[in-house]
Structures are given as C-alpha cells and as structure tokens.
C-alpha cells in the first residue's frame, strides 16, 4: 500500500484506502442513491459532514469482528470504531478527498477510539467521528465551511461546557444525504452511554498512523500502604496473563477516576515503532526503598532486549537498565529508591523481536514513618 506525504502545509503522512476499498465505496454510494458527481460539487467539509451522517446511519457500533475482507463492511457494517472509520474514509476518498485515521488513547470506557480527519486542502484537517455521528466547530455559531475543528483543536477545549456548544450531533434516523438541509442532518443531542464529551478532551495521547511520531502511554499505579499492582504475575501462559491485564485495565477505564485510565494498548511494546510505555508510581515517600517487578512476555523463539529507565531524577534503579528477554514469560525485579513523591519509569523494546507484551507491574515499597 502506498504511503504519500501530505500536500504542502497539511503536516501529515497519509496512507490512502486501497483501490478495492474505494471501488466498494463507490458501489455503496450508488446503492444509497448518493450521486458521486453531486458530492464532488460540494466543499470537502460539507461532503464530509453529509457522508459522516450517512455512515453513522448505515453502520452499527458493535463487537462483531471485522470481516476477512474489510470491504464487506460496505455491505453489512456492524463493527467497532476502526471499521466504521474505514467506511467513512472509503466514501470520502471515492470523492477525491484525502483522509487519515486519528486515534485517541487511554480514555474512559473506550480505552482507545478511532475516528477520521479529512484534509480541507488549505493546510487544515477536520475531525469527523462516524461511530458517534459528530463533528465540532469553533463556536456555538460556528460554520461548517470555515470553523470545523481538528481533533487537536477539540482536545484543547477548556471544558465540556464549551464542547456542548461546539458539538454537532447527527440523528440515527434516515435523512436525504444530498438534499436535506445540513442543520437537519445534525439536529440531535449528544447522548452516548459509552462515550462522553470529556473523552475528546482528555485522551492521554493522539496518534495519526504517522511512522515518524512517538507514542507514549502511561500505566498509572496508585500505591496504598506502599503497594500496588496491575495484572496477575502468577499466570503462566500468555492467554492468562493477557486476560488479567485486560480485566485490570478495563476496571480502571470504567471507574470514576478520569486520570488513571490505562488502555490495553499500553501492554504492547513495539520495537518497529517509536513507542514508549511508562509506569507512574504515586504517592511515594522521598528516600523510601522498594522493589518493582515487571512481567513481560516474548512470544517468539528468539531473545529480545528491553530497556528500563528512570524518567528524569524521580527515582534510582539498581540494575544495568538493559534486560534480555528469553522466549515466554520473563519476570524482572528491580530495587528502587524514591527521589520524589512520584516517579516515572519507561520501558522500551530494543528488538530484534518486533513486539513484546507487558502483562504485569507490581511495586512494594518500605513504609517510612
């Protein structure tokens, strides 16, 4: 699949939908009675808004697995956010627009979420979320043609109160995609049980499938009586370790604390991407000592190498910072000394194995009176 640099000023690398996807999208437009030439006569922002509502109406957000041929989603679209976003990208690119995926990480309830941005052609990107049928403008009276926001701009909003005035919510009901007044395509109220407006603001990280960009995800450990853990270090097989990590991270995503969310993706330590998983320990007593243990799974039959490093001067670690990972389960125990009341430790897969998994973290600190 060809990856192309974006047009001057658009500041992104873009991987287009495959030709087969654009062909399936054109067939979908015909079945829906949406004339391609009429779409192409509209501004990019308006065609994106109209197609966003159409895809939101057509697709159902569910747990159905993505079909072997992802283009089957243009026939029956019951899938997760990534598949629904693929459909919107397909129909937009069938009109000649340039699109990209945009991902939100470590958000409540969802964990991670994928939506779409479209290149408006003037150096701006506009965010559309077909899973929930929304886009955002810069003010309560903002216009689609001039003021539609990118995800980065949405994330910079001051509060949910501000976003309530900026969000435009489509109804699930049928609408005439081309002939309906645009206001009638977005006359509903934002009300989704597993997605809040806060999630668009408080994602720990945003990513755009750009191979040059760093991804940093944090595992937040809150100590009680000097102890905390995530995952089940006693499990011996990958399935058990993975299930325990998923259960514990899901519990944090669903609790009322919006600052401790950890997505399952934080467990994936990639060597082939600029990726870092960090572990935050808090609260700590300055000068206290203890042990932190990591459980890392290497699913290949060759050795891998992991770098474990303190971030800043928050903590001292008593080891050489580079660890060999044998095939299967690895348990790595490290002595530490707290230099501040909170500490961060980073984990980086150095290869040659492309992917290893962090499936457990536990810490046991001395209690200092």
Answer for the pair 233, 244: CB distance below 8 angstroms, yes or no: no
Which of 207, 242, 266 corresponds to the end of one domain?
A: 207
Query: Are 320 and 181 contained in the same domain?
Result: no
Each residue of 2-55: pLDDT tens digit? 445 444 445 567 889 999 999 999 999 999 999 999 999 999 999 999 999 999
Each residue of 66-101: pLDDT tens digit? 777 999 999 999 999 999 999 999 999 999 999 999
Query: Are 104 and 131 contained in the same domain?
Result: yes
CATH of the domain at 220: 2.60.120
User: Looking at the 3D structure of the chain, how many domains does it have?
Assistant: 2
DSSP-derived pairing of the beta strands 355-365 and 227-230: antiparallel
| Pairwise CA distance, residues 165 & 312, whole Å | 40
Query: Are 9 and 85 contained in the same domain?
Result: yes
DSSP-derived pairing of the beta strands 355-365 and 268-270: antiparallel
Which of 180, 207, 234 corresponds to the end of one domain?
A: 207
pTM greater than 0.75:
yes
Tell me which DSSP letter residue 131 carries. T
| Pairwise CA distance, residues 62 & 72, whole Å | 15
Query: Are 81 and 48 contained in the same domain?
Result: yes
Supply the pLDDT for residue 145: 61
Query: Are 174 and 269 contained in the same domain?
Result: no
Supply the pLDDT for residue 12: 62
Supply the pLDDT for residue 252: 80
Each residue of 125-147: pLDDT tens digit? 999 999 999 999 987 776 676 68
Supply the pLDDT for residue 320: 66
Query: Are 280 and 356 contained in the same domain?
Result: yes
Each residue of 97-117: pLDDT tens digit? 999 999 998 888 788 899 999
Each residue of 263-275: pLDDT tens digit? 788 899 999 888 8
Query: Are 157 and 228 contained in the same domain?
Result: no
> What is the residue-averaged pLDDT of the chain?
89
Query: Are 125 and 254 contained in the same domain?
Result: no
Query: Are 188 and 46 contained in the same domain?
Result: yes
Best CA proximity match to 93, nearest among 47, 144, 61: 47
Supply the pLDDT for residue 327: 97
| Pairwise CA distance, residues 335 & 230, whole Å | 18
Supply the pLDDT for residue 7: 44
Report whether pLDDT(233) > 70: yes
| Pairwise CA distance, residues 212 & 259, whole Å | 27
Instruction: Name the band, by pLDDT with cuts 50, 70 and 90, for residue 248.
Output: confident
Supply the pLDDT for residue 368: 63
Average pLDDT over residues 162-186: 91
Supply the pLDDT for residue 143: 66
Query: Are 178 and 302 contained in the same domain?
Result: no
H and E: helices and strands count for the chain: 10, 21
Tokens of residue 136, six digits:
């955002």
Best CA proximity match to 221, nearest among 117, 360, 83: 360
Supply the pLDDT for residue 369: 59
Which of 207, 230, 256 corresponds to the end of one domain?
A: 207
Quick count: other Cβ atoms within 10 Å of Cβ 10? 18
Q: State the DSSP string of 84-97.
A: HHHHHHHHHHHTT-
Task: State which residues form the domain around 277.
Answer: 215-365
Percent of the chain topping pLDDT 90: 64
Tokens 């401790």 locate to 260
Query: Are 51 and 187 contained in the same domain?
Result: yes
Supply the pLDDT for residue 5: 45
The burial class, CB within 10 Å (0-12 / 13-18 / 19+), for 231 is: buried
Supply the pLDDT for residue 106: 84
Tell me which DSSP letter residue 237 carries. S
CATH of the domain at 48: 3.10.620
- Which run of H or E residues covers position 295? strand 289-298
| Pairwise CA distance, residues 108 & 202, whole Å | 9
Query: Are 194 and 312 contained in the same domain?
Result: no
- Where are the extended beta strands (E) located within 170-288? 205-207, 215-222, 227-230, 268-270, 275-282
């Amino acid at each position: 699949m060809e990856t192309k640099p974006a047009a001057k000023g658009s500041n992104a690398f873009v991987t287009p939908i495959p030709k087969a996807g654009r062909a399936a999208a054109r067939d979908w437009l015909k079945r829906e009675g949406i004339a391609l030439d009429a779409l192409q006569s509209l501004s990019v922002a308006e065609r994106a808004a109209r197609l966003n509502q159409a895809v939101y109406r057509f697709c159902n957000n569910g747990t159905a697995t993505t079909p072997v041929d992802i283009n089957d989603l243009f026939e029956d679209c019951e899938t997760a956010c990534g598949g629904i976003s693929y459909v919107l990208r397909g129909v937009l690119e069938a009109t000649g627009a340039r699109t990209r995926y945009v991902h939100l990480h470590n958000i409540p309830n969802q964990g991670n979420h994928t939506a779409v941005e479209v290149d408006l052609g003037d150096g701006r990107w506009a965010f559309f979320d077909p899973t929930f049928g929304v886009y955002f403008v810069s003010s309560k009276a903002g216009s689609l043609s001039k003021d539609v926001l990118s995800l980065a701009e949405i994330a910079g909003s001051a509060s949910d109160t501000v976003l309530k005035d900026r969000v435009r919510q489509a109804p699930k009901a049928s609408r005439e995609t081309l002939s309906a007044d645009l206001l009638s395509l977005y006359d509903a109220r934002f009300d989704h049980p597993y997605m809040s407006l806060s999630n668009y603001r408080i994602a720990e990280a945003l990513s755009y499938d750009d191979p040059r960009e760093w991804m940093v995800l944090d595992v937040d450990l809150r100590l009680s009586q000097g102890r905390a853990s995530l995952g089940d270090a006693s499990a011996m097989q990958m399935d058990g370790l993975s299930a325990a990590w998923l259960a514990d991270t899901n519990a944090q995503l669903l609790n009322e604390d919006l600052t401790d969310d950890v997505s399952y993706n934080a467990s994936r330590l990639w060597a082939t991407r600029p990726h870092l998983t960090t572990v935050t320990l808090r609260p700590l007593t300055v000068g206290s000592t203890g042990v932190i243990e990591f459980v890392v799974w290497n699913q290949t039959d060759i050795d891998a190498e992991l770098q474990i490093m303190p971030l800043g001067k928050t903590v001292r670690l008593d080891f050489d910072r580079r660890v060999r990972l044998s095939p299967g389960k690895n348990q790595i125990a490290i002595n530490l000394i707290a230099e501040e009341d909170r500490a961060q430790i980073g984990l980086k897969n150095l290869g040659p194995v492309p992917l290893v998994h962090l499936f457990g973290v536990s810490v046991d600190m001395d209690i200092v009176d």
